Structure 1
Amino acid sequence: MGSVGRLASYVPLSSSQALCALGTLAVTLLFLVVVRQLVRQRRPRGFPPGPTRFPLIGNILSLASEPHVFMKKTSETYGQIFSLDLGGISTVVLNGFDAIKECLSHQSEVFADRPSLPLFVKMTKMGGLLNSKYGRGWIDHRKLAVNSFRYFGSGQKMFERKISEECMFFLDAIDEHKGKLFNPKHLITNAVSNITNLIIFGERFTYDDRDFQHMIEIFSENVELAASGWAFLYNAFPCIEYLPFGKHQKLFRNAAEVYVFLLRIIERFSQGRVCQSPRHYIDAYLDEIEQNVSDKNTSFSKENLIFSVGELIIAGTETTTNALRWAILYMSLYPNIQERVHKEIDSVLPNGRPPTLEDKQSMPYVEAVLHEVLRFCTIVPLGIFRATSQDAQVSGYTIPKGTMVITNLYSVHFDEKYWSDPGIFCPDRFLDSNGNFIRREAFLPFSLGRRHCLGEQLARMELFLFFTTLLQRFHLQFPKGCLPSLSPKLGMTLQPLPYTICAVRRQP
């Protein structure tokens, strides 16, 4: 009798009952997800105020178009420090020079961490260099990178000559167009990336190396995709990883392809390595792996080497490339400014002598133009997202440990308190009444604090030498009636929309 009762209790459910049970379970799970998301969206006590948020998605939609501009405008209502909700990710936005200096300079360590965003976790496991958490791993990797840049790059007089040699390859490639229309992006990207390549690999790549060109194109695409709406949605709702569509899927496919390529190229350039006699960054990194093989807490590994190499290539190529592309665009747009640049170059470099870094101090107007390009175009408008390494007190607000922080560098360069008529492109703002170059405090294209750009010195070298050499040989112009758009292409960096230019050989 008992066994019959037990059998009766196992009578299978009808299809309608099963569907009802599944529906109830789905509704319950959805309810729990919504409640969890709404709880995450509650502002902690003492947190900065911010604009009204939509349920679940928060303020994500506000970042769909020109997020740096939206954040600056929002600061006019809520102050220089306000908060956003990015789908349950509480975020503090710093606007204006005063707020950013207070946090990144005066409380440098507190604002030196990186947020554990699902996108970064999936793509780099929070390892490597740029996205690593603040701690020993980041300190060790940054020290190695800085030493490599100093030893293999910007600290050596010989390296300046290598940059000058690359400038010649670059100019000769432009000469092949014989003054006719061409898009300079490809050549600039190749030339700039080769400077970083000399440090990482010890060699340059030819401008027709298709494999390397393909990798650079993927890097550039990922810089754009990483700041897309799909990336923000993925960080808020990682479960969309399983959707078969969306730009985040393209991002992941690109990352996987780059990972395989970098692994192959690292193996190629590490052949013939002699321990403790590094030829380039890869050799130096492999030395660190061997030296720390018995250290269980070391962060040096083959995987982090791949991440670091990829990050250094991106950082060393994207920003300087786009700065030069903007510079060429504005020189063509303002022939009167270009003429002043030509005159200064000709007066300092008689008989076509190639420029050197020592000439920089004799070219205040060239320096002013390059600084105005970096200010006006703000290549990396929101920097790389940061996080607080501990609880922070700023301007009466309490920012808990682990909070994501966005530094709006665009707002610094358009801060009316420090710049008169910031919406006007005017190199003279960097000159005094006697025409001497002057440094401006609210000029932060390379950010500030412990996480400031480690390649700043090298980038400044490249910008000066490439720009001066280019303007020494060519006059840049758009064809009559053909002016490009000045609206930027949005991504983690602001780059010009594709344009074509005429580079006409100047008379010696």
Structure 2
Amino acid sequence: MISIKSPSLTPVSCPQALLGVGCLAFALLAFMLVRQLVKQRRPPGFPPGPSPIPVIGNIFSLATEPHVFLKKQSEVHGQIFSLDLGGILTVVLNGYDCVRECLYHQGEVFADRPSLPLFKKMTKMGGLLNCKYGKGWNEHRKLACSSFRYFGSGQKLFEKKISEECMFFVDAIDEHKGKPFNPKHLVTNAVSNITNLIIFGQRFTYDDRNFQHMIEIFSENVELAVSGWALLYNAFPYIEYVPFGKHQKLFRNAAEVYNFLQEVINGFSQGRVPHAPRHYVDAYLDELEQNAGVQGSSFSYENLIYSVGELIIAGTETTTNTLRWAMLYMALYPNIQERVHKEIDSVLSNGRAPTLEDKQRMPYIEAVLHEILRFCNIVPLGIFRATSQDAKVNGYTIPKGTMVITNLYSVHFDEKYWNDPGVFSPERFLDSSGNFVRREAFLPFSLGKASFLKTSISYDWLNQVIPQRLSCLFADLR
């Protein structure tokens, strides 16, 4: 009988084990470092830009007032230059000529969205705002635009609903009886209700705590999404596993909002009659049923939740911030406020409510609104874009998939198109006869195919709520 002895195993000491783990960790770290440095190399023909810090690139440069920093860099590197956001090569467009060349003359090329880890985490690159340019984007854009026309600006009744919301808004202000208060909450709720009428067919009362909480979270997430933590997450998505940081707050907020939206959508879809939509949610569910089983369809219940959330944000944040800036600048410039009062009083006799037809008879108010949008830069960097194919701009080569930032602040302060751009002057939108005139380099909500959210809804609100008893709103500021 033959016996076989197994070879003895040499025991590994604790120091040897630690050394092995340390060597493995060092090799992994070295590999990641080399990989990151390779990602940071500018490809041939790529626009120049400020020198990046190894690994993290130019991220910290965008921590505060990024639009101002980018405009200053354009004075050094030209209207089109590049940034390194932690290995994410980015092209920045500055000045009206450069932005128009890319977003108008090459609109198809610059219409995509970047595949950023944050977008993938938040909406899986679905929904409406962050959807990749293509079939899904076109389907959702078409539905959103037709819904906003059919349930909103295309209805004469909708104008009356805006006026009614204005009255709710003014009555809520009157409850403060002339005492100081922060108008942000009331303005946000009132503006959001205009979008809610289209999305859900109903408004939310100002004392609806659940909806108020959701709006607060939306506003917070808009700020968090452009914070330094968001940029760090896009560059180093593995920090998702770090238990602290603003990115974790962003994810918790998003989960809470999506749960709330799901409940709201379920509630407002009750009693739905197929092919007889009452609002955007019904229209989307019709599309979802019609495309059930269709291969490649982008309509899904998950994308409905994402789209509703993005429409609420897009229909609320821009107009809310515009009105808040309007309040501030009316207080800062009493002479402008006085002229606004006089124009309102001359057009709206006997205290009647304004209509959109009155807009043509209020050129100075139109000029004030446009100057606020220009001077205050409601969306200074727009929404991040990406190239859908290789592009050629000003002799530079921009590869497909490159992230693109449009510095709209630089457009509105472009001295080639604006005299004394640092001065707040509504008169720049008036001709010698006092008539309103449009300005070519006025792009408050960007330009091109991917900027469709500049709907008439925002302008309807701006042109109704300010004439609507503006004298009452600012009476105590005199």
TM-score (norm 1): 0.92
Aligned to 2:412: 413
Q: Distance in 1 between matches of 2:150 and 2:298?
A: 22
CA 60–476 in structure 1, closer or farther in 2 if over 3 Å, else same: farther
Aligned to 1:464: 463
Q: Deviations over 1:390-412 (max 9, x none)?
A: 00000100000000000000110
Measure how far apart 1:477 and its partner are: 4.8
Gaps of at least 5 residues in structure 1 are: 479-503
1:309-328 equivalent positions in 2, closer than 5 A? 309-328=308-327
Aligned length: 477
Aligned to 1:438: 437
Alignment of 1:251 with 2:250, yes or no, is: yes
Moved over 3 A (4+): 1-4
Measure how far apart 1:82 and its partner are: 0.1
8 A contact 1:192–1:320 mirrored in 2: yes
Q: Distance in 2 between matches of 1:475 and 1:414?
A: 28
Q: Distance in 2 between matches of 1:380 and 1:470?
A: 27
Q: Deviations over 1:149-199 (max 9, x none)?
A: 000001111101100110000011111111111111111001000000000
Aligned to 1:164: 163
Measure how far apart 1:2 and its partner are: 10
Measure how far apart 1:476 and its partner are: 4.5
Measure how far apart 1:100 and its partner are: 0.3
Q: Distance in 2 between matches of 1:237 and 1:474?
A: 47
8 A contact 1:219–1:314 mirrored in 2: yes
AA at the equivalent of 2:19: C
1:344-359 equivalent positions in 2, closer than 5 A? 344-359=343-358
1:365-380 equivalent positions in 2, closer than 5 A? 365-380=364-379
Aligned to 2:259: 260
Measure how far apart 1:34 and its partner are: 0.3
Alignment of 1:7 with 2:35, yes or no, is: no
Q: Secondary structure at the match of 1:7?
A: coil
Q: Secondary structure at the match of 1:94?
A: strand
Q: Deviations over 1:424-463 (max 9, x none)?
A: 1110110111111110000001210001133421111101
Aligned to 1:501: none
Q: Deviations over 1:112-145 (max 9, x none)?
A: 0000000000000000000000000000000000
Q: Secondary structure at the match of 2:177?
A: coil
Q: Secondary structure at the match of 1:432?
A: coil
1:54-453 equivalent positions in 2, closer than 5 A? 54-453=53-452
Q: Secondary structure at the match of 1:57?
A: coil
8 A contact 1:75–1:82 mirrored in 2: yes
CA 50–477 in structure 1, closer or farther in 2 if over 3 Å, else same: farther
AA at the equivalent of 1:55: P
Aligned to 1:48: 47
CA 14–358 in structure 1, closer or farther in 2 if over 3 Å, else same: same
8 A contact 2:59–2:84 mirrored in 1: yes
Q: Deviations over 1:443-492 (max 9, x none)?
A: 001210001133421111101101111414333455xxxxxxxxxxxxxx
Q: Distance in 1 between matches of 2:119 and 2:411?
A: 26
8 A contact 1:446–1:456 mirrored in 2: no
8 A contact 1:111–1:389 mirrored in 2: yes
TM-score (norm 2): 0.98
Q: Deviations over 1:267-304 (max 9, x none)?
A: 01111000000000000000001000021200000000
Q: Distance in 2 between matches of 1:468 and 1:121?
A: 42
Q: Deviations over 1:225-280 (max 9, x none)?
A: 00110000000000100001100000000001111111111101111000000000
Measure how far apart 1:32 and its partner are: 0.3
Root-mean-square deviation (CA), in Å?
1.2
8 A contact 2:178–2:476 mirrored in 1: no
Q: Secondary structure at the match of 1:309?
A: helix
Q: Secondary structure at the match of 1:474?
A: helix
CA 215–3 in structure 1, closer or farther in 2 if over 3 Å, else same: farther
Q: Distance in 2 between matches of 1:246 and 1:31?
A: 25
Q: Secondary structure at the match of 1:390?
A: coil
Alignment of 1:16 with 2:1, yes or no, is: no
CA 159–2 in structure 1, closer or farther in 2 if over 3 Å, else same: farther
AA at the equivalent of 2:50: P
Q: Distance in 2 between matches of 1:287 and 1:172?
A: 38
8 A contact 1:332–1:476 mirrored in 2: no
* Percent of matched pairs sharing the same residue: 74
